[in-house]
Amino acid sequence: MATSHLLALRRSVTLLVIFAVIVLVQGPLRIIGFRSGYKLGHTWHKLCRWAIGMRVRYHGSISLESPTFFVANHTSYLDIPALGSLIDGTFIAKSEIKSWPMFGLLCSLQRTIFIDRDWRKALAQRKQLYKRLDDRDSLILFPEGTSNNGTFTRQFKSALFSAADWNLNGQGLAVQPITIAYTRLDGIAMGRRLRPLFAWYGDMVMLNHFWTLLGSGSLGVDIIFHSPVRLKNFGSRKELSDHCEQKVSNGLSDALSGRV
């Protein structure tokens, strides 16, 4: 499929304007310690989704419990505005993203929690997650740990479910599995051959991928919100992780097959 460089240019300029406004508004709010300012990210994600040309349909009900621990499959950097435009929550991301040009700054302004794979830091990172949950911040996690080609899900890493241990008044934390499926291009069902337009994985060069994406028309996304569960309903975090993985995987299969 040919890339429209004019469309890509128009969208990229629009995104740059949005990014500039984000920095000019949320930067000072962060400096003065205005904690609630990060909630503007919900609006920024909606604007970015619009600028990119994403058309999101969601199925099921979004948990209204505050906080909720949302866990989703991971296909692309597009997952961020897709979910962020629907959920008022804080993303959990790998520490490397903090050093990425522009994206690292934007993530920091939204109070993203950056986690390290060093097991020696696990306790400190769990305390950081608990602190956010104590503040009633919902969390959004991609438990595969990396992105993939959008056709299947990778195994969920149960160690990343440590936030599910958080408990308040014996109720336990609501954990909601979410399926993200990239299904349409300009309103037409998209086959496996075109899925790399959305999916960013392996050794793809991000700048080249993003430019092609911006020049590729209207991008259709289906997001399925499965029923929330709690750790106390399972024997271990591993069982909870396996349950969420199965729900998300089945949802992806249904969405790609046009059954949602």
CATH of residue 20: 3.40.1130
Q: What is the pLDDT of residue 33?
A: 64
Rounded alpha-carbon distances, angstroms, from residue 158 to 155, 202, 238: 9, 22, 5
pLDDT recorded at residue 63: 96
Q: Is the peptide bond preceding residue 177 cis, with omega within 30 degrees of 0?
A: no
What's the rounded Cα separation, in Å, for the pair 188 and 190? 6
Range of the domain at 194: 5-256
Q: What is the pLDDT of residue 32?
A: 72
Q: For the chain of 260 residues, list the mean pLDDT of each consecutive stretch of 10.
A: 87 93 81 64 88 95 95 94 92 83 77 79 84 92 90 91 84 94 92 85 86 92 97 94 98 92
Number of domains, the chain: 1
Chain length of the chain: 260
Give the residue ranges of DSSP H helices in 32-139.
Answer: 41-52, 79-84, 103-109, 122-134
Position 7 scores a pLDDT of 95
The pLDDT value recorded for residue 35 is: 60
